[in-house]
Structure 1
Amino acid sequence: MGERPVHDLIVELAERLGPDEFTARCVALLQGEPREDHLDVLPWLTGHDWSDGEPVRDPASWKDHWLRTWGARGLLHVWDDRATDAVVAGLGDEDWRPAEMCLKVAAAHDVAGTGDGAAALADHPLPRVRAASARALAVVGDTEHLEVVSGLLDDPDESVRRAAARAIERLRSRLDLG
């Protein structure tokens, strides 16, 4: 794959596969299908060399949560509404990386039904996930999520407080709350 940006690789993969197959493959990865079933698309979704013997093929070196994350990242760059249910479910992933990537997808594409899952991640132990939660709620949140975002204004991490302040402004404007 060389030194090409992953975004470019993902867009090219989507063009090669077509929207139906691309979305199906990303969803399958996000839902936890085995890496062996997707070796043909993983170089495009990751930018890594997936040849025999490469560390990325070893589940002990590259845990399965990376596959779910890469599936979600594909959807971040090339969105299709048919992936909505998988992204909503991905917000509840047991690992923070796929959940955080699903927050990014929700924020980037205003994914329906992700508000409650994004709100649930507002108390995550990692500041970067809490900040991503606030950014997602700025886009997908509703009035019932304003209190969750407001609670992040007192977060111990400055980046979370900044994200929450911007999210509250955007929520108030978007929901016409004045």
Structure 2
Amino acid sequence: MSRTDRDLPPPRDLDLPVGVLVGELSAVRGVDATIGLCLDLLAGADRRDHLAELPYLTGLRFEPGSPRLDPQRWLDHWVRTWGARGLLYVWSEDAAGPVVAGLADEHWRPAEMCLKVSTRRELGPAGPGACALLDHPLPRVRGQALRTLGAAGDTEHVAAVRRALDDAHPDVRRHAARALERMSARLDLETPW
């Protein structure tokens, strides 16, 4: 048990949306402490050090003997993903650097979640990492990279988004068209195509 979780009450209702649960944790621990927790998890903190807090970030129980406590059964990329997901609901500009760094995570789940945070927070520095993920084998990751570029990409990313109009997957092509429309409006481009 970590020092900070001794007096942490369990969430009111684990069936509530994660955003509500993160808000509940922030109300008890404070926004800065909740952001710090998310950043620790995104950096790969040991899940066993945060057993009382994890239900707020996941909507799951973490009881002794739970397979969720076994890194061989629930791999560590889940911990990094949960940390990043929490940053969809609590934020500080200090989190921008770690989120952008998370785009290069070795596993697609934390990288995709960092793309989602980058989109929501409109993180311009995420542009190069999002461009790199346009070559990811999973269409859902490529699509999210395009959403990020639509929200936060700059003129130097337009050519990469245009190339995605020819992606093999129809959803990715659709995201590319939307990203170009957003970039055109946001960056005052003459023509997105």
TM-score normalized by structure 2? 0.89
Q: CA RMSD in A?
A: 1.0
Match in the other structure for 1:38: 50
Aligned in 2, Cα 1:173/1:149: closer, same or farther, shift over 3 Å? same
Q: Which amino acid aligns with 1:114?
A: A
Match in the other structure for 1:130: 142
Identity of aligned residues (%): 53
Q: Deviation of residue 81 (structure 1)?
A: 1.2
Query: Does 2:109 correspond to 1:97?
Result: yes
Equivalent of residue 13 in structure 1, options 2, 20, 25: 25
Q: Deviation of residue 54 (structure 1)?
A: 1.3
- Alignment check: 8 A CA contact 2:25 2:34 kept: yes
Equivalent of residue 65 in structure 1, options 77, 81, 87: 77
Name the SS of the counterpart of 2:189 in structure 1. Answer: coil
Match in the other structure for 1:111: 123
Query: Does 2:40 correspond to 1:28?
Result: yes
Gaps of 5+ in 2: 1-12
Q: Which amino acid aligns with 1:175?
A: L
- Alignment check: 8 A CA contact 1:23 1:82 kept: no
Match in the other structure for 1:160: 172
Q: Deviation of residue 112 (structure 1)?
A: 3.9
Q: 1:45-64, aligned counterparts within 5 Å?
A: 45-64=57-76
Gaps of 5+ in 1: none
Q: Deviation of residue 158 (structure 1)?
A: 0.7
Q: Deviation of residue 36 (structure 1)?
A: 1.4
Measured against aligned partners, the alpha-carbon deviations of 1:129-171 in whole angstroms (never above 9, x if no partner) come to 0000000000110001001111110111111001000000000
Match in the other structure for 2:8: none
